[in-house]
Chain A
Amino acid sequence: MINIRELKFRYHGRGPDASSTFGMRVDAFAVPQGSSTALVGPSGSGKTTLLGLIAGTLRAESGTINVNDQAITGFSDSDLGRFRISNVGQVFQAFELLSYLTVIENVMLPWYIAGGGRKGDVRKRAADLLRGVGLESKINARPGELSQGEQQRVAVCRAMLNNPPLLLADEPTGNLDQENKQNVVDLLVEQARRNSSTLLMVTHDESLLNKFDSALDMRHVAQLLDGQSQR
């Protein structure tokens, strides 16, 4: 599903961060189709950067990234946008729901961005997803009216709207209590399995690792450049 070769990435800060740089090299990285993989490692080891490169929100200096048989390193920005909408479902640590949309509208956000399909059908799909996570009674509520766990479940539904083959989750449990952490991870793994999606999730929580098919340590995946040490 994911195949990375000879990847080099460098990030230069702008403005107040002008003095900060970050660089890493990934010689080879692969995640099999349909698997669930936890990505662990110390802070600054490049976990979020790797997810960004796979999602196409960051650009590598050189190397190749293949996702679902698509060589995204050659894509334009608009291609990358279209690629993400259709192929990548993302769940973020801070949920990142839009406060001015209802729960169901948040789930439908990918459709509001890129269209595709009749609104009625999309709305039904979103309602089904929400029913599946026990939020049927809250489809017209605003995110502010939900608990953190409920909000993250909505975010998971949003990520699943277009049945993406790849599910990326960057510390989705970082802001949740223990019980909700377990629930959300279970949900992600379950959704991925049900959809035959590949799940790659960044986490610091070792208690969650047993829920995944495998766990990769970032220190073994990438090397930092310019003498940056991995803590």
Chain B
Amino acid sequence: MTGALFLGWRYLAQHRFKSSILVASITLMLFLPVATRLLVEDSAAALTARADQTPLILGARGSELELVLNTLYFHAESPEEIENRAFAEAQSTEFAEFIPIHSRFKAHGAAIVGTSLDYFDFRGLRVANGRQMGLLGECVIGANVAARLGLGPGESIVSSPETVFDIAGVYPLKMTIAGVLAAGGTADDDAVFVDVRTTWIIQGLGHGHTDLADAGAGAAVLSRRDDMITANASLTQYAEITPENISAFHFHGASDTFPLTSVIAVPPDQKNATLLRGRYQDSELLQLVVPGNVLDDLLETVFAVQNYVILGLAILSLATVAVITLVFLLSQQLRKGEFHTLLRIGASKGYVAVLIASEIGFVFLISALLAAALTLVTRHYAMQILQTFLTL
């Protein structure tokens, strides 16, 4: 019967175009439902892991999902903001460790995340190249940002204006890269981390300029009276914080009013978590959410959609099987003469059956192998695919 397999294989090889289409169709038919399930499960696991790792998030009252997604994935274009006062008040409760997050701005498509050093310990992030940020205006960048933009320690990255016409508000700040984080396969790989005060400088709440009290301030001074100096519009503000000009940087207004987009709360135990949740239950301005619960709701929807997608794929598969069956039947019809010849020469009916089966068998075998290979590749690169997809 190996002769029949040989003839079957040669037939397929001779009709490459038809065989390729059949293989491609069956491969997709086998692979797509598996890949869908794989990606959904992996993304759900990744979402869940990151959410479960984050006990509580404090933010502006409103969409819980937006709050969680922006805190975990730095996703929102115009996130709701809370005052820094909320962070200070939360800290004063001593119910948890609190980590400020201000992620509103971007630099070359990467989210700029203003935070504290606690964030790095919390997420287990490690500087792989260079050092941790030290001065205002310094940043550490995620591994993917470094790779995508070809940047490393000592180089700089400029924040992007929010709109083309945003002249007087958010202005580009050139930030020095202190270090590059080790890749972690999370959203942190695609972010630029700065001290939260640096984001306030980007927002225009702080700036650096020549000392107006200096006699040499010259043309930038509009008026001096007693102990009050008023500057005019020609005052040059620094677009980059350097060791030479850093002492000239300062903030205006009360820091309590400065914005954050959220605060991550890490209570030491369930009791403190409960006390903390109780504190914000009736707040009109703030909400404290459990990211895991919020994403569970989202994932329920995702899994429901997945099931519909797989159902759709299954129906499509039925149609594909029908078409493939038709193709095979037509193929057998066309080969009737060939089978008749083989029988006349002396082949048994069993031999011809094996020949027919080998055509189908080889196609399915190759398709199964390709689908398995694609599944393995997808499984291996699932997180990169998901991250690319999530950051698009």
Contacts and interface: CB of A to CB of B under 8 A. Distances in A.
Interaction A to B = yes
Interface of A: 55, 57, 77-78, 81-86, 88, 90, 92, 96, 98-101, 105, 109-115, 158
B338 A98 contact: yes
B3 A115 contact: yes
B345 A113 contact: yes
A165 to B, nearest CB: 14
24 contacts: A78-B350, A84-B344, A84-B346, A85-B345, A85-B346, A88-B346, A90-B344, A90-B345, A92-B341, A96-B344, A98-B338, A99-B14, A100-B10, A100-B14, A101-B7, A105-B10, A111-B3, A112-B6, A112-B7, A113-B3, A113-B342, A113-B345, A113-B347, A115-B3
Interface string B337-379: 1100111111111110000000000000000000000000000
A84 B343 CA distance: 10
A105 B351 CA distance: 17
B14 A114 contact: no
A55 B7 CA distance: 24
User: Which 7 pairs from chain A and chain B are nearest by CB?
Assistant: A85-B346, A100-B14, A112-B3, A84-B346, A96-B341, A113-B347, A81-B346
Q: Which of B6, B7, B342, B346 has the most CB of A within 10 A?
A: B346
B285 interface: no
Contacts of A101: 7, 10
| Residue with the highest number of chain B CB atoms closer than 10 Å, among A81, A109, A111, A113 | A113
B7 A84 contact: no
Contacts of A77: 348-349
B201 to A, nearest CB: 73
Interface of B: 3-4, 6-7, 10-11, 13-15, 337-338, 341-351
Contacts of B343: 57, 81
B338 A110 contact: no
A163 to B, nearest CB: 14
B11, B343, B344, B347: residue with the most chain A Cβ atoms closer than 10 Å: B344
A132 B75 CA distance: 79
Contact of A82 (B338, B344, B346): B346
A81 B348 contact: yes
B13 A100 contact: yes
A108 B13 CA distance: 18
Given A100-B11, A100-B15, A112-B3, A55 B347 contact: no
B337 A96 contact: yes
Contacts of B13: 100
Nearest to A142: B14
B17 to A, nearest CB: 13
A98 B7 contact: yes
Nearest to B337: A96
A85 B347 CA distance: 8
A81 to B, nearest CB: 5
Nearest to A108: B3
Nearest to B14: A100
Contacts of A114: 3, 346-347
B181 to A, nearest CB: 58
A151 B15 CA distance: 21
A96 B15 CA distance: 18
A110 B346 contact: yes
Nearest to A86: B346
Given A81-B347, A101-B10, 9 more contacts: A81-B346, A84-B345, A92-B344, A101-B7, A110-B345, A112-B4, A113-B342, A114-B347, A115-B3
Contacts of A78: 348, 350
Contacts of A109: 342, 345
A114 to B, nearest CB: 6
Most chain-A Cβ atoms within 10 A of its Cβ — which of B11, B15, B347?
A: B347
A59 to B, nearest CB: 13
Contacts of A112: 3-4, 6-7
Specify which of B4, B15, B348 lies most central, judged by the most chain A CB atoms within 10 Å of its CB. Answer: B348
A117 B342 CA distance: 19
A92 B13 CA distance: 26
Contacts of B4: 112
A92 B345 CA distance: 10
B3 A55 contact: no
Contacts of B349: 77
Nearest to A99: B14
Contacts of B337: 96
A57 B338 CA distance: 15
B80 to A, nearest CB: 68
B386 to A, nearest CB: 44
A158 B344 CA distance: 13
Nearest to A79: B348
A154 to B, nearest CB: 13
Contacts of A55: 344
A17 B338 CA distance: 22
Contacts of B345: 84-85, 90, 109-110, 113, 158
A90 B343 CA distance: 12
Nearest to A111: B3
